[in-house]
């Protein structure tokens, strides 16, 4: 049913109302349509509480939708396709597993043989800058390191599509920048697709090919910006130094600002 | 890791302090020393409290301010302890009560934990079972003692049954609570990794519940001991409960206290062992 030439993810007229049958039904998402192409990085920004995380949960099939269609590779599957990986602001590492064993979790679930999964996890942790920390428990790692392990866990299943919900929001600025660079490098070099939910406009602009701006709850699409910054897109500092960068930031901010006053 | 790192750092400072005497002492050693001194101080105070209590008890009974017949005295208790040790009853009574407690403790916890965790699997079954669990939990264990004696006899089995019954409901509830309070995001993450319900149960629910399960274990050591002793009170020919009951009926108060001291020591030993096992099985937790 799924055609590899189809875009990884197409969402059309998605709608979500919580507590539909009750008196205090609340409409969180009014109408959202968007698409994510091969090798594309798309960010979704919106005012806080606008239903960004709900959107991601709908896409993963963790929350049932009220109306609309979600096409993964052209097919309408319910739930999360095998080729997608998911990561949240909370690292959600299992405290009883070492960094290495946390990374192998998804591989264990998919019955990858033990030798193979350890080899793959070690490789991933090394590329993500955690050599020497493989056998540490999460409680002994810093916030940035933990989030790196979480990223490695997401990448271990070799997903073609990554769905990330504010993955770096809890980190300090420097750590965040370094991780964004690593993320861009890993995603772009392997032509993966990435849908990033964030409230950080700078993060969205510096990382993405396209930024989708949502309105207040119930969320609709307010604007879509194609980001054309003529620099190496795996270098977050270079993107920030580009003259176009501030323009994008300003116009997206204004779209968020206007809504705050209304 | 932080601790290990600091150790490496302080070791490095140690090396350099050999070379240059001006380097100040590493902070880490100072802190560790202060922690040790704190522990020693607590222990010293605990011993002091005990000594003051025992001394005033001894003093009061020796001066007839307290009746030695009704209240016993530390020296008389010690005398009975020595006597019980010499005639061998101390060891046999302790051994039999420890065995009853241990079997009931293990049996009740295995049963309760298995059922409690299994209830995670089905919201429906857990709702059906809930009132029965509450009902079972509200029965005073002592009310079951006569039935246990009738059903299982006056030997070991009835005491094990009593200990098991004292433990099982608490074990069930703590394990169930542990399983049900696992972070929803954590479960969702497992689902997005493609985990089946069985995967989630084995790789997330069971290890995540270990903290609550061990809290339950520490709590139920005492309950198992109480159950075994109540069983011995009802009908028995040996065990610490039997010794307490017999000495009490004969108004030999110091002997009652002597057997109580042994019971307390047994409880402390068992709790200590459970704590050790917890450390061994959950090395990732900071105890």
Name every chain B residue with its beta carbon within 8 A of the beta carbon of A137.
284
- Domain boundary, last residue among B66, B95, B122: B66
Beta strands in chain A, from DSSP E residues, in sequence order: 9-18, 26-36, 41-45, 67-72, 84-87, 161-165, 193-198, 210-214, 219-226
From B203, which residue of chain A is nearest by alpha-carbon distance?
Answer: A105
Would you give the distance in Å from CA B132 to the centre of its chain? Answer: 26
- B189 near A CB under 8 A: yes
How many structural domains is chain B composed of? Answer: 2
pLDDT grade for B7, boundaries at 50, 70 and 90: very low
Nearest by CB: A92 against B189, B199, B286: B189
pLDDT of res. B17: 38
Name every chain A residue with its beta carbon within 8 A of the beta carbon of B1.
136, 140-141
Lowest average pLDDT, out of A15-24, A143-152, B198-207, goes to A15-24
Q: Are the Cβ atoms of A110 and B194 closer than 8 angstroms?
A: yes
Nearest by CB: B284 against A80, A110, A137: A137
Does a structural domain hold residue B58? yes
Instruction: Dump pLDDT digits (tens) for B209-247.
Output: 999 999 999 999 999 999 999 999 988 889 999 999 999
- Please compute the mean of the pLDDT values over residues A29-55 and round it to a whole number: 87
Mean pLDDT of chain B: 86
The answer to whether residues B54 and B173 belong to one domain is no
The CATH number of the domain holding residue B214 is 1.10.3720.10
Answer yes or no: are the C-beta atoms of B3 and B31 closer than 8 Å: no
Domain containing B41 equals 2-66
The C-alpha angle with vertex A91 and arms to A86 and A93, in degrees rounded to 5, equals 100
Q: Evaluate the CA torsion angle B116, B121, B125, B127 in order and state its sign.
A: positive
Q: Is the pLDDT of residue B263 over 90?
A: yes
Q: Are the Cβ atoms of B286 and A136 closer than 8 angstroms?
A: no
- Domain boundary, last residue among B49, B66, B83: B66
Does a structural domain hold residue B211? yes
pLDDT of res. B270: 93
A-B interface: how many C-beta pairs under 8 angstroms? 57
The answer to whether residues B35 and B98 belong to one domain is no
Answer yes or no: are the C-beta atoms of A201 and A52 closer than 8 Å: no
Instruction: Dump pLDDT digits (tens) for B64-80.
Output: 888 888 888 999 999 99
Does a structural domain hold residue B87? yes
Does a structural domain hold residue B264? yes
pLDDT of res. A77: 64
> Around Cβ A90, how many Cβ atoms within 10 Å?
18
pLDDT of res. B72: 87
pLDDT grade for A79, boundaries at 50, 70 and 90: low
Mean pLDDT of chain A: 85
The answer to whether residues B184 and B58 belong to one domain is no
Name every chain A residue with its beta carbon within 8 A of the beta carbon of B185.
88, 90, 92
Question: How distant, in Å, are the alpha carbons of A27, A251, B233, B274 from that of A53?
Answer: 14, 23, 61, 43
Q: Which residues, 6+ apart, have CB-to-CB distance to B167 below 8 Å?
A: B104, B105, B107, B108, B109, B112, B220, B223, B224, B227
Instruction: Dump pLDDT digits (tens) for A84-118.
Output: 888 888 889 999 999 999 999 999 998 899 999 99
pLDDT of res. B10: 42
The answer to whether residues B25 and B152 belong to one domain is no
Q: Are the Cβ atoms of A86 and B183 closer than 8 angstroms?
A: no
The answer to whether residues B163 and B251 belong to one domain is yes
Nearest by CB: A92 against B185, B196, B199: B185
Instruction: Dump pLDDT digits (tens) for B75-126.
Output: 999 999 999 999 999 999 999 999 999 999 999 999 999 999 999 988 899 9
Name every chain A residue with its beta carbon within 8 A of the beta carbon of B186.
92, 94
pLDDT of res. B3: 43
The answer to whether residues B106 and B187 belong to one domain is yes
- Please compute the mean of the pLDDT values over residues A108-132 and round it to a whole number: 90
Answer yes or no: are the C-beta atoms of A181 and A236 closer than 8 Å: yes
The answer to whether residues B46 and B115 belong to one domain is no
Does a structural domain hold residue B287? no
- Domain boundary, last residue among B50, B66, B82: B66
Answer yes or no: are the C-beta atoms of B188 and B81 closer than 8 Å: no
Interface residues on A facing B, Cβ-Cβ cutoff 8 A: 57, 60, 62, 80, 82, 84-86, 88, 90, 92, 94-97, 105-106, 108-110, 136-141, 153, 157
- Please compute the mean of the pLDDT values over residues B252-267 and round it to a whole number: 94
Instruction: Dump pLDDT digits (tens) for A195-237.
Output: 999 888 889 999 999 999 988 888 888 889 888 888 888 888 8
Domains of chain A: 9-83+159-261 (3.40.50.300)
From B209, which residue of chain A is nearest by alpha-carbon distance?
Answer: A96
The C-alpha atoms of residue A130 and residue A151 are separated, in whole angstroms, by 12
pLDDT of res. B21: 43
pLDDT of res. B87: 92
% pLDDT > 90, chain A? 21
- B8 near A CB under 8 A: no
Terminal alpha carbon distance of chain B: 15
The C-alpha atoms of residue A210 and residue A63 are separated, in whole angstroms, by 25
Instruction: Note the pTM of the prediction, 2 decimals.
Output: 0.77
Please tell me whether residue B88 adopts helix, strand or coil conformation: coil
Would you give the distance in Å from CA A101 to the centre of its chain? Answer: 23
The answer to whether residues B50 and B110 belong to one domain is no
The answer to whether residues B168 and B264 belong to one domain is yes
pLDDT of res. A4: 60
Q: Are the Cβ atoms of B284 and A95 closer than 8 angstroms?
A: yes
Q: What is the DSSP string of A143-177?
A: HHHHHHHHHHHHHHT--SEEEEESTTTTS-HHHHH
The answer to whether residues B52 and B133 belong to one domain is no
The answer to whether residues B49 and B162 belong to one domain is no
Nearest by CB: B185 against A90, A105, A108: A90
Q: Is the pLDDT of residue B197 over 80?
A: yes
% pLDDT > 70, chain B? 89
The answer to whether residues B61 and B161 belong to one domain is no
Instruction: Dump pLDDT digits (tens) for A145-200.
Output: 998 899 899 988 888 889 998 888 888 888 888 888 888 888 888 888 999 998 88
């Amino acid at each position: 049913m799924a055609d590899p030439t189809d875009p990884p993810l197409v969402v059309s007229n998605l709608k979500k109302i919580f507590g539909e049958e009750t008196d205090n039904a609340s409409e969180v998402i009014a109408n959202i349509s968007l698409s994510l192409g091969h090798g594309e990085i798309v960010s979704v920004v919106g005012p806080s509480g606008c239903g960004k995380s709900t959107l991601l949960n709908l896409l993963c099939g963790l929350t049932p939708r009220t109306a609309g269609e979600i096409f993964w590779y052209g097919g309408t599957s319910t739930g999360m396709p095998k080729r997608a990986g998911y990561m949240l602001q909370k690292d959600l590492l299992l405290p009883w597993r070492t960094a290495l064993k946390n990374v192998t979790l998804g591989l264990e679930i998919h019955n990858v043989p033990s030798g193979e999964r350890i080899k793959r996890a070690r490789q991933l942790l090394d590329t993500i800058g955690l050599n020497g920390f493989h056998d540490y428990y999460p409680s002994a790692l810093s916030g940035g390191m933990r989030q790196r392990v979480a990223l490695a866990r997401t990448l271990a299943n070799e997903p073609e599509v990554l769905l990330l919900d504010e993955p770096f929001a809890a980190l300090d600025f420097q750590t965040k920048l370094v991780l964004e660079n690593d993320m861009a490098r890993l995603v772009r070099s392997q032509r993966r697709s990435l849908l990033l939910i964030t409230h950080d406009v700078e993060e969205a602009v510096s990382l993405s090919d396209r930024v989708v701006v949502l309105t207040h709850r119930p969320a609709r699409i307010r604007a879509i910006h194609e980001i054309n910054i003529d620099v190496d897109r795996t270098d977050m500092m270079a993107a920030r130094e580009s003259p176009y960068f501030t323009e994008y930031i300003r116009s997206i901010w204004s779209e968020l600002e206007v809504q705050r006053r209304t | 890791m932080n601790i290990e790192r600091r150790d490496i750092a302080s070791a490095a400072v140690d090396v350099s302090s050999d070379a240059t005497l001006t380097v100040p002492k590493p902070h880490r050693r100072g802190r560790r020393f202060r922690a040790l001194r704190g522990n020693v101080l607590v222990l010293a105070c605990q011993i002091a409290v005990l000594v003051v209590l025992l001394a005033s008890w001894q003093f009061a009974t020796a001066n007839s301010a307290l009746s030695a017949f009704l209240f016993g005295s530390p020296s008389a208790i010690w005398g009975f302890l020595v006597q019980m040790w010499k005639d061998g009853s101390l060891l046999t009574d302790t051994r039999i009560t420890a065995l009853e407690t241990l079997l009931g403790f293990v049996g009740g916890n295995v049963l309760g934990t298995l059922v409690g965790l299994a209830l995670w699997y089905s919201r429906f079954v857990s709702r059906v079972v809930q009132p029965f669990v509450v009902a079972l939990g509200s029965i005073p264990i002592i009310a079951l003692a006569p039935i246990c004696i009738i059903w299982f006899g006056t030997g070991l089995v009835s005491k094990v049954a009593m200990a098991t019954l004292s433990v099982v409901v608490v074990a069930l509830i703590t394990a169930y609570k542990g399983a049900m309070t696992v972070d929803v995001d954590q479960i969702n993450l497992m689902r997005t990794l493609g985990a089946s319900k069985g995967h989630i149960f084995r790789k997330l629910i069971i290890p995540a519940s270990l903290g609550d399960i061990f809290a339950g274990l520490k709590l139920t050591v005492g309950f198992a001991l109480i159950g075994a002793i109540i069983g011995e009170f009802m009908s028995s020919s040996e065990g610490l409960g039997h010794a307490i009951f017999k000495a009490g009926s004969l108004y030999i108060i110091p002997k009652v206290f002597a057997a109580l001291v042994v019971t307390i020591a047994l409880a402390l030993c068992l709790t200590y062992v459970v704590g050790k096992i917890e450390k061994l099985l959950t090395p990732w937790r900071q105890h």
